[in-house]
C-alpha cells in the first residue's frame, strides 16, 4: 500500500507560506519569519531552485509538505561556521554531494584532475571536497551530535552497498558506514524522504525502517516475520577458488570448494562478523517477496574474492524491479547493512505535482551574476520523464532512477514551457531540449503492469526489443507538435540521447524529429561497432544503426534538409580487445569520421560494466558460466584504445604503427586511402588536438599554420551532451566545414558526444550551415 506523495497532513509550519527561494542565511530566515529550519539540506552543488537539480527539487517537495527547509551549499569542510550558518534543524540534516558523484565530478577517466565544475559559480573547481558525502557528514556529526543525518543523492545512491571504487582501486564499504550517517536514501527519493520527515516530525524513530522503500540502514534487529535466503539461491556462482590460507600446504590450497563452503571459510577469516542462522529449508520462490531478505556475500568476502563481487553485483541488479525486488542484507565488519527494495515509481499526477511546485527556476540570488554552466545548459530545457529501460551496463541511470519510465502529462510539460517563456530572463524562443535520460522513452513501457511486476530482465531492448514493450511514439509526437505551437516559442530541440533502435520502429516519429527538432546534427550512441564489447554493454549491433541512418538520411532528404548523424563511441570498455578498437578505427576511417576528443570508459560505482572491469567476470550471465571479460586497465592499453579512435591524430601515429605491427596488420600502414596511418611522421605538423579536430585532407589551424593539405579553418561551437547520470553538461566540439577533395567517399556525417541533437547558439536555422559539410568531426566520450 503506497501513500500518494502529497496525501500526508501538512506539517504545522506550512502556515509560514512558500519561500521565494529557500533560505541560505539567517537573514533570509528572519525575513521569512522563521526562528529555525525544520530540515537543512547540505549540498555539494551551488543551490539552484530548479527541478533539474536534486536539492532544488527535494527542497520544494519538503516545503510542500509544510516543512521549513534551509540550504547550505558548498560549505567549507574546514570551517564549522559554514555548517552552523542556519543553526540546528528541528528534525534532521540531509546531505548530498550534488548532482554528480564528487569523484566523477573531480577526476577524468584517466584519474586526472578536472579544472572546472559545471555546478559551481563561474565553474570554480575547488568548492567541494572529494567524497563529499563522507566529509560533510563528519563535520555535521562533530557540530551536532544529537541531530539525525540522512544522506542521499547520486553519490550515496550508487555507493549504498560495498562497491568497487575506481579512484582508490579498492572495494569500499557502503558509504552509510563510512560516513557514519543515520540513514541512506537512494534513487529518486521523494517518497522516502517525505515519509521519513513526517515520521521524525511525529516523534517516531527512524531506526529499522523496514517498511520504507529506497533506504539503507543498520538494523538493530531483524524482524521475526522476515525470511532470510542466501544470495546463492538467486544466482549460483558455481565452483570458486578457495581463499589462500597462510597455514595451508600448497596442495591443500589448490582445493576448490562450493559456495556454501566458501562462505564458511570466509566466516572463519572474518570472525568478527555476525553469523546468519538458517533455521529451516525454504524454497525462495514460495516466500512472500516483501518479507524476504537476501543475504549477500559480506564486505570481506567481496573484497577477497572477485567472483563473489561479480555475483553480488548480479544479484543486486536482479533485485531492481520495484515489482519483485527483495530486501538485501550485507555484513560489514560485524555490522549488518540492510537495503530495502527500490521506491515505487511516481504516477503521472505525482510527477506533475513535483514539477509544478513553485520553483523560481534560478540560482540563489547570492550568486549574483556568476555563471553556473549546468544551469545555463538546462535553463531552457524541460525534463519530460525519468528512468530508462535500456540497461546499458556502463550507465548508472537504471540503478538510480529505475527501469520504469515515469512520465509527466502533456499539460504539465506545456505549462513548464510557458513558464520558461514568461519567467526566464533572455529567453529567445528556443527550447534547448525536450527530453530526459532518453529522448524517446516518453510514455513507453511494458504492455502489462502484471508482466512488468514479475519481470526480471535487465533491459527491455536487449538483445532485441521485448515483444511486451509498447513502442508507441504517438504521445511524444503529439507533445512535440503542441510544444512548437506555443506562442513565443520559435524552435524546440531534442538534445537528449535518442534510443535509435526504438526510433526505427516509428518512421513517423523520425520524420517529426528530423523535420522540426534536429539542429543540423543528431548525435546517437552506437558506442562500438564490434559485437564483443557491444554484448558487454547490452547495446544493439550496427545493423540497427545502419537502419536508422538510412531512415534518417532519407527522411532528411524528403523534408529538404541536409542533416548529419554523429555517432558516439567508447574506448576501453570492458570486453574490448585491441582488435575491436582496430576494427572500429577502420570503420571510422571508411566512413569518414574523425573524433575531436576521446574519453575512455570510466568505471562508476556499482555499474555492471564496472563489476566486469574490476573482476574480469560477466554479471550479465549466471556466474557459473565463467564468462571472463578482458579490460584495458593499464595506461598503455587505454592510451592505445583511445588512439585508435583518433587514428587521424599525428601524435598517435607512432603508437598505432607499433601496435599494428605487433598485431600483424602492417597492411594498414601506408599513404593510401585504405591505410589507417601513414608510413612516416610528417615534419612540422600542427597538432590537431590544439584545434580540437582534423579533417581528411588537412587544413590550416586557427593560428594560420598549414596542415599537410589544408585549406580552411573552423569555428568552435558549444554542444550539449549528457554525463553518465543523464545530466546536461557543456562540451566543446567543432563545426562542420567544407572539405575540398579526397574525403572518404561515402561520408556526409557529423559526430559528437552521446546521442542528442545540437541546439543552436542563435535563432538561425543551423541546417544552412550544416549543408556545407561533407565530413564531420566528432566528440567521443
Ligand atoms: S516483459 Fe519485456 S517490456 Fe515488460 S518489463 Fe520485462 S523486458 Fe520490459
C-beta of 468 in contact with ligand 1 (< 6 A):
yes
CA–CA distance, 748 with 592 (Å, rounded to integer): 8
Q: Would you give the distance in Å from CA 258 to the centre of its chain?
A: 36
Q: Residue 738: pLDDT above 50?
A: no
Q: Residue 272: pLDDT above 70?
A: no
User: Could you tell me which of 400, 412, 337 has the C-alpha nearest to residue 156?
Assistant: 400
C-beta of 444 in contact with ligand 1 (< 6 A):
no
Measured CA to CA in angstroms, residue 700 lies from 291, 405, 710, 769 at distances of 68, 48, 5, 20
Q: How many CB atoms lie within 10 A of CB 309?
A: 24
pLDDT, mean of residues 78-102: 97
Share of the chain above pLDDT 70, in %: 81
**Nearest atom, ligand 1, residue 459 CA:** 7
pLDDT, mean of residues 575-595: 94
**Nearest atom, ligand 1, residue 469 CA:** 3
CATH number for 380-779: choose from 3.30.465.10, 3.80.30.20, 3.40.50.2300, 2.120.10.80. 3.80.30.20
C-beta of 323 in contact with ligand 1 (< 6 A):
no
Q: How far is the CA of 310 from the centre of ligand 1 (A)?
A: 24
Nearest CA to ligand 1 atom 7: 460
Nearest CA to ligand 1 atom 6: 455
Across the strands, what pairs with 329?
Answer: 295, 338
Please name the residues in contact with 611: beta carbons below 8 A apart, sequence gap of 6 or more: 164, 309, 310, 313, 314, 617, 619
For a pocket test of ligand 1, which of 391, 468, 538 has the largest count of ligand atoms closer than 8 A to its C-beta? 468
pLDDT, mean of residues 426-448: 95
Number of H helices, E strands in the chain: 28, 31
* CA triple 213-267-216, angle to 5 deg: 15
pLDDT, mean of residues 65-72: 98
C-alpha cell at 558: 524528403
Q: How far is the CA of 436 from the centre of ligand 1 (A)?
A: 20
Question: Given this model, what pLDDT does residue 271 score?
Answer: 40
**Nearest atom, ligand 1, residue 404 CA:** 5
CA–CA distance, 738 with 304 (Å, rounded to integer): 56
Using one digit for the tens of pLDDT, what is the confidence trace for 486-501? Answer: 999 999 999 998 999 9
Measured CA to CA in angstroms, residue 279 lies from 223, 229, 350, 548 at distances of 14, 11, 43, 56
Annotated binding site: 388, 392, 395
Q: Are strands 327-332 and 335-339 parallel, antiparallel or unpaired?
A: antiparallel
For cell 504521445, the residue is 475
For cell 531492481, the residue is 320
C-beta of 452 in contact with ligand 1 (< 6 A):
yes
Which range in 608-612, 686-690, 769-773 is most confidently predicted, on average pLDDT? Answer: 608-612
- H or E element in which residue 383 lies: strand 381-383
pLDDT, mean of residues 248-258: 40
pLDDT grade for 673, boundaries at 50, 70 and 90: confident
C-alpha cell at 283: 524454497
Helix H, strand E, coil C: the string for 196-239 is HHHHHHCCCCCCCCCCCCCEEECCCCCCCCCEEEEHHHCCCCCC
What single DSSP character describes residue 497? P
Using one digit for the tens of pLDDT, what is the confidence trace for 545-572? Answer: 999 999 999 999 999 999 999 888 999 9
Using one digit for the tens of pLDDT, what is the confidence trace for 9-21? Answer: 999 999 999 999 9
pLDDT grade for 67, boundaries at 50, 70 and 90: very high
CA–CA distance, 305 with 256 (Å, rounded to integer): 13
Question: Given this model, what pLDDT does residue 258 score?
Answer: 38
Q: Residue 735: pLDDT above 70?
A: no
What single DSSP character describes residue 86? T
Question: Given this model, what pLDDT does residue 153 score?
Answer: 96
Q: Residue 645: pLDDT above 70?
A: yes
Q: How many CB atoms lie within 10 A of CB 580?
A: 21
In b/e form, how buried is each residue of 213-228, taking b as 16+ CB within 10 angstroms?
bbbbbbbeebeeebbb
Nearest CA to ligand 1 atom 5: 452
User: Could you tell me which of 685, 579, 563 has the C-alpha nearest to residue 630?
Assistant: 579
pLDDT grade for 283, boundaries at 50, 70 and 90: low
Question: Given this model, what pLDDT does residue 366 score?
Answer: 96
pLDDT, mean of residues 290-317: 95
pLDDT grade for 683, boundaries at 50, 70 and 90: confident
Residue 293 phi/psi, 5° resolution?
A: -120, 135
Class of residue 705 by CB neighbours under 10 A (exposed 0-12, middle 13-18, buried 19+)? middle
pLDDT, mean of residues 523-551: 94
Residue 333's region, left for phi above 0, alpha for psi from -120 to 50, else beta, is left
Using one digit for the tens of pLDDT, what is the confidence trace for 377-411? Answer: 999 999 999 999 999 999 988 888 899 999 999 99
DSSP 580-633: HHHHHHHHHHHTTEEEEE--B----TT-HHHHHHHHSB-TTS-GGG--B-----
C-beta of 451 in contact with ligand 1 (< 6 A):
yes
Annotated binding site for [4Fe-4S] cluster: 388, 392, 395
Question: Given this model, what pLDDT does residue 361 score?
Answer: 93
Using one digit for the tens of pLDDT, what is the confidence trace for 210-239? Answer: 999 999 999 999 999 999 998 988 887 765
pLDDT, mean of residues 425-450: 94
Each domain of the chain, given as residue ranges in start order, spans 12-214, 227-339, 380-779
C-beta of 457 in contact with ligand 1 (< 6 A):
yes
Q: Are strands 445-446 and 716-722 parallel, antiparallel or unpaired?
A: unpaired
Q: How far is the CA of 772 from the centre of ligand 1 (A)?
A: 43
Q: How far is the CA of 57 from the centre of ligand 1 (A)?
A: 30
User: Could you tell me which of 329, 313, 324 has the C-alpha nearest to residue 287?
Assistant: 324
pLDDT grade for 762, boundaries at 50, 70 and 90: very low
Question: Given this model, what pLDDT does residue 703 score?
Answer: 35
User: Could you tell me which of 480, 459, 456 has the C-alpha nearest to residue 469?
Assistant: 459
pLDDT, mean of residues 98-116: 93
Measured CA to CA in angstroms, residue 75 lies from 12, 127, 134, 572 at distances of 29, 8, 13, 36
Measured CA to CA in angstroms, residue 755 lies from 137, 498, 504, 721, 759 at distances of 37, 5, 15, 8, 13
Q: Are strands 776-779 and 163-165 parallel, antiparallel or unpaired?
A: unpaired
C-beta of 446 in contact with ligand 1 (< 6 A):
yes
Q: Residue 717: pLDDT above 90?
A: no
Residue 14 phi/psi, 5° resolution?
A: -60, -20
Helix H, strand E, coil C: the string for 365-382 is HHHCCCCCHHHHHHCCEE
Using one digit for the tens of pLDDT, what is the confidence trace for 124-142? Answer: 988 999 999 999 999 999 9
C-beta of 466 in contact with ligand 1 (< 6 A):
yes
For a pocket test of ligand 1, which of 449, 455, 465, 502 has the largest count of ligand atoms closer than 8 A to its C-beta? 455
C-beta of 460 in contact with ligand 1 (< 6 A):
yes
Same-fold call for 12-214 versus 380-779: no
pLDDT, mean of residues 13-40: 97
Which range is least confidently modeled, 36-40, 69-73, 259-263, 668-672? 259-263
CATH number for 12-214: choose from 3.40.50.280, 3.40.228.10, 3.20.20.10, 3.20.20.140. 3.40.50.280
**Nearest atom, ligand 1, residue 466 CA:** 2
**3-state class (DSSP) for residue 779:** strand
Question: Given this model, what pLDDT does residue 419 score?
Answer: 93
Q: How far is the CA of 388 from the centre of ligand 1 (A)?
A: 12
Q: How far is the CA of 459 from the centre of ligand 1 (A)?
A: 7
Using one digit for the tens of pLDDT, what is the confidence trace for 595-622? Answer: 777 778 999 999 999 999 999 999 998 7
- pTM for this entry: 0.83
For a pocket test of ligand 1, which of 402, 451, 459 has the largest count of ligand atoms closer than 8 A to its C-beta? 451
Question: Given this model, what pLDDT does residue 700 score?
Answer: 35
C-beta of 441 in contact with ligand 1 (< 6 A):
no
User: Could you tell me which of 406, 425, 408, 414 has the C-alpha nearest to residue 360?
Assistant: 425
Class of residue 487 by CB neighbours under 10 A (exposed 0-12, middle 13-18, buried 19+)? exposed
C-beta of 324 in contact with ligand 1 (< 6 A):
no
**Nearest atom, ligand 1, residue 321 CA:** 5
DSSP 325-337: --EEEEEETTEEE
Amino acid at each position: 500500500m503506497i501513500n500518494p506523495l502529497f496525501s500526508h497532513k501538512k506539517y504545522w509550519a506550512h502556515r509560514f507560506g512558500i519561500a521565494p527561494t529557500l533560505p541560505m542565511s539567517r537573514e533570509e530566515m528572519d525575513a521569512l519569519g522563521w526562528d529555525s529550519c525544520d530540515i537543512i539540506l547540505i549540498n555539494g552543488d551551488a543551490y539552484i531552485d530548479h527541478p533539474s537539480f536534486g536539492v532544488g527539487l527535494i527542497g520544494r517537495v519538503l516545503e510542500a509538505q509544510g516543512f521549513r527547509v534551509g540550504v547550505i551549499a558548498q560549505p567549507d569542510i574546514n570551517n564549522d561556521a559554514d555548517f552552523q550558518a542556519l543553526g540546528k534543524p528541528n528534525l534532521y540534516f540531509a546531505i548530498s554531494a550534488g548532482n554528480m558523484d564528487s569523484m566523477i565530478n573531480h577526476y577524468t577517466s584517466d584519474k586526472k584532475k578536472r579544472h572546472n565544475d559545471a555546478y559551481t559559480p563561474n565553474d570554480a573547481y575547488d568548492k567541494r571536497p572529494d567524497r563529499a558525502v563522507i566529509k560533510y557528514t563528519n563535520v555535521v556529526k562533530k557540530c551536532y551530535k544529537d541531530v539525525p543525518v540522512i544522506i542521499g543523492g547520486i553519490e550515496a545512491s550508487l555507493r549504498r552497498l560495498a562497491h568497487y571504487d575506481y579512484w582508490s582501486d579498492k572495494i569500499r564499504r557502503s558509504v552509510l558506514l563510512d560516513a557514519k550517517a543515520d540513514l541512506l536514501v537512494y534513487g529518486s527519493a521523494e517518497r522516502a524522504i517525505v515519509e521519513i520527515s513526517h515520521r521524525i516530525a511525529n516523534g517516531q524513530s527512524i531506526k529499522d525502517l523496514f517498511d520504507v522503500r529506497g533506504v539503507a540502514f543498520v538494523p538493530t534487529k531483524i524482524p521475526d516475520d522476515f525470511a532470510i535466503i542466501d544470495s546463492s539461491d538467486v544466482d549460483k556462482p558455481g565452483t570458486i577458488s578457495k581463499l589462500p590460507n597462510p597455514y595451508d600446504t600448497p596442495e591443500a590450497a589448490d582445493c576448490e570448494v562450493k559456495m556454501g563452503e566458501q562462505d564458511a571459510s570466509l566466516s572463519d577469516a572474518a570472525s568478527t562478523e555476525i553469523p546468519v542462522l538458517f533455521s529451516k529449508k525454504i524454497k525462495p520462490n514460495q516466500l512472500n517477496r516483501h518479507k524476504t531478505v537476501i543475504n549477500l556475500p559480506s564486505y570481506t568476502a567481496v573484497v577477497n574474492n572477485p567472483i563473489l563481487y561479480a555475483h553480488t553485483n548480479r544479484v543486486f541488479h536482479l533485485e531492481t524491479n520495484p515489482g519483485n525486488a527483495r530486501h538485501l542484507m550485507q555484513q560489514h565488519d560485524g555490522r549488518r547493512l540492510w537495503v530495502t527494495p527500490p521506491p515505487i515509481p511516481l504516477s503521472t499526477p505525482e510527477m506533475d505535482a513535483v514539477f509544478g511546485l513553485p520553483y523560481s527556476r534560478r540560482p540563489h540570488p547570492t550568486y549574483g551574476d556568476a555563471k553556473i554552466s549546468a544551469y545555463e545548459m538546462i535553463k531552457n530545457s524541460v525534463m519530460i520523464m525519468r528512468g530508462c529501460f535500456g540497461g546499458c551496463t556502463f550507465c548508472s541511470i537504471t540503478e538510480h532512477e529505475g527501469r520504469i519510465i515515469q512520465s509527466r502529462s502533456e499539460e504539465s510539460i506545456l505549462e513548464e514551457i510557458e513558464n520558461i517563456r514568461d519567467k526566464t530572463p533572455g529567453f529567445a524562443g528556443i527550447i534547448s531540449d525536450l527530453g530526459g535520460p532518453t529522448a524517446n522513452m516518453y510514455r513507453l513501457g511494458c504492455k502489462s503492469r502484471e508482466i512488468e511486476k514479475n519481470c526480471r530482465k535487465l533491459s527491455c531492448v536487449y538483445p532485441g526489443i521485448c515483444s511486451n514493450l509498447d513502442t508507441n511514439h504517438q504521445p511524444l509526437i503529439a507533445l512535440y507538435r503542441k510544444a512548437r505551437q506555443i506562442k513565443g516559442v520559435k524552435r524546440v530541440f531534442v538534445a537528449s540521447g535518442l534510443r535509435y533502435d526504438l526510433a526505427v520502429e516509428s518512421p513517423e516519429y523520425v520524420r517529426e524529429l528530423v523535420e522540426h527538432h534536429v539542429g543540423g546534427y543528431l548525435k546517437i550512441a552506437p558506442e562500438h561497432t564490434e559485437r564483443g564489447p557491444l554484448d558487454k554493454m547490452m547495446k544493439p549491433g550496427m545493423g540497427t544503426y545502419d537502419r536508422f541512418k538510412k531512415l534518417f538520411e532519407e527522411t532528411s532528404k524528403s523534408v529538404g534538409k541536409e542533416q548529419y548523424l554523429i555517432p558516439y563511441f567508447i574506448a576501453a570498455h570492458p570486453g574490448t580487445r585491441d582488435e575491436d578498437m582496430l576494427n572500429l578505427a577502420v570503420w571510422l576511417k571508411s566512413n569518414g569520421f574523425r573524433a575531436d576528443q576521446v574519453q575512455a570508459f570510466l568505471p562508476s560505482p556499482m555499474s555492471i560494466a564496472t563489476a566486469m572491469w574490476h573482476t574480469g567476470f560477466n554479471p550479465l550471465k549466471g556466474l557459473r558460466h565463467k564468462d571472463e571479460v578482458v579490460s584495458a586497465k593499464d595506461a598503455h592499453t587505454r592510451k592505445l584504445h583511445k588512439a585508435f579512435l583518433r587514428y587521424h591524430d599525428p601524435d598517435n601515429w607512432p603508437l598505432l604503427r607499433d601496435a599494428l605491427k605487433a598485431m600483424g596488420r602492417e597492411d594498414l600502414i601506408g599513404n593510401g586511402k585504405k591505410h589507417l596511418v601513414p608510413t612516416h611522421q610528417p615534419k612540422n605538423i600542427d597538432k590537431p588536438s590544439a584545434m580540437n579536430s582534423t579533417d581528411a585532407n588537412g587544413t590550416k589551424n586557427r593560428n594560420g599554420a598549414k596542415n599537410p593539405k589544408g585549406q580552411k579553418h573552423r569555428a568552435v561551437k558549444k554542444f550539449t551532451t549528457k554525463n553518465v547520470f543523464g545530466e546536461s553538461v557543456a562540451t566543446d566540439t567543432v563545426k562542420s566545414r567544407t572539405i575540398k577533395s579526397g574525403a572518404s567517399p561515402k561520408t556526409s556525417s557529423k559526430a559528437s558526444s552521446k546521442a542528442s541533437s545540437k541546439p543552436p547558439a542563435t535563432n538561425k536555422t543551423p541546417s544552412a550551415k550544416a549543408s556545407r559539410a561533407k565530413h564531420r568531426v566528432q566528440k567521443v566520450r
